[in-house]
Chains A and B, each alone.
Chain A
Amino acid sequence: MSALNRFNSLAFNGLFRRNSVFLAGIFASAFVVEIAFDGVSDRIWRNINKGRTWDDIKDRYTA
């Protein structure tokens, strides 16, 4: 049995066999995926706009 086959049967038996586990897994991963996606896209956006955001120029206007 190859590693892929082991992974497949593990995934099927552990995650997909019961609908309750499947659904709970979907919501749990949605939570994680959202945080990861937001974090990564925010970081990219900040990187593109470096030097132009309020956080970067705040020192000039606030004591």
Chain B
Amino acid sequence: MVVDCATSGVLRAHTACFPPHRRITYPLPCIHGWPCCSWCFRLTAAAAQVGQQQRFSATSANSNSTDIPDFSEYRKDSTPDTSRAFAYMMVGTTGVLSAVAAKSTVHDFLSNMSASADVLALAKVEVDLSAIPEGKNVVVKWRGKPIFIRHRTAAEIAEANAVNISELRDPQLDSARAQQPEWLVMLGICTHLGCVPIGDAGDYGGWFCPCHGSHYDISGRIRKGPAPLNLEIPEHVIDGDKLVIG
């Protein structure tokens, strides 16, 4: 720290200078030597007389050089928020870009794992129902599994509805199984161990599984034998004469 001895410190008589004037002492080194006097840098003759070096280039020789310079030219035009806002902006931008990158990475992996359009197109089966006469079964293949389509007669519908469902092993109304009562669409896989039941067979006029003797009624509900559940109903839509499974 550089202090100006001309303006601060304790004033004392300075006997070394000529003519004697007041000497200034203070605890910090002054820019033009210690101890110093507020006049000696000007009284060169006197200074030389007492062996002090004349300081030609001492900045303090220039008037007011000890004033604090004007740094406003070099200062940032800023408030305390400026740098903070910039730093947080950089952090936030990094966060945004990382979030986008992470999301698209996950999205790429997931879309790679899901079924492609050609697979989805094969996943549906269309059946023309007008070709199936009343009282007949048709088996179609859907996703590698057999689908039973039964065009039921009015008597069969009445028989399916007449069953007291509280007696069933897997209680289910016929209306919950067939979207339209005359059309029953079922997955032809026995719920016991996965055999394909035989149509128009069994004790209940529906399907019979030859493997372990499960009997299904005309609504495909399990009535007798080891199978625990009714034949499964796949997702399907009946639109006029067109049946779409899947």
Chain B contact residues, CB within 8 Å of chain A? 77-79, 81-82, 84-86, 88-89, 92, 95-97, 99-100, 103-104
A/B interface sample: 26 pairs, CB < 8 A: A5-B78, A5-B79, A5-B81, A5-B82, A8-B84, A8-B86, A11-B81, A11-B89, A12-B81, A12-B84, A15-B88, A16-B84, A16-B88, A22-B88, A25-B92, A26-B92, A26-B96, A27-B99, A29-B92, A29-B96, A30-B96, A30-B100, A30-B103, A33-B97, A34-B100, A34-B103
Contacts of A5 in B (CB 8 A): 77-79, 81-82
Number of interface residues of A (CB under 8 A): 22
Residue A2 is within 8 A (CB to CB) of chain B in the complex: yes
Contacts of B96 in A (CB 8 A): 26, 29-30, 33
Interchain CB contact under 8 A, B103 and A1:
no
Chain A contact residues, CB within 8 Å of chain B? 1-2, 4-5, 7-9, 11-13, 15-16, 22-23, 25-27, 29-30, 33-34, 37
Interchain CB contact under 8 A, A33 and B77:
no
Contacts of B92 in A (CB 8 A): 15-16, 22, 25-26, 29
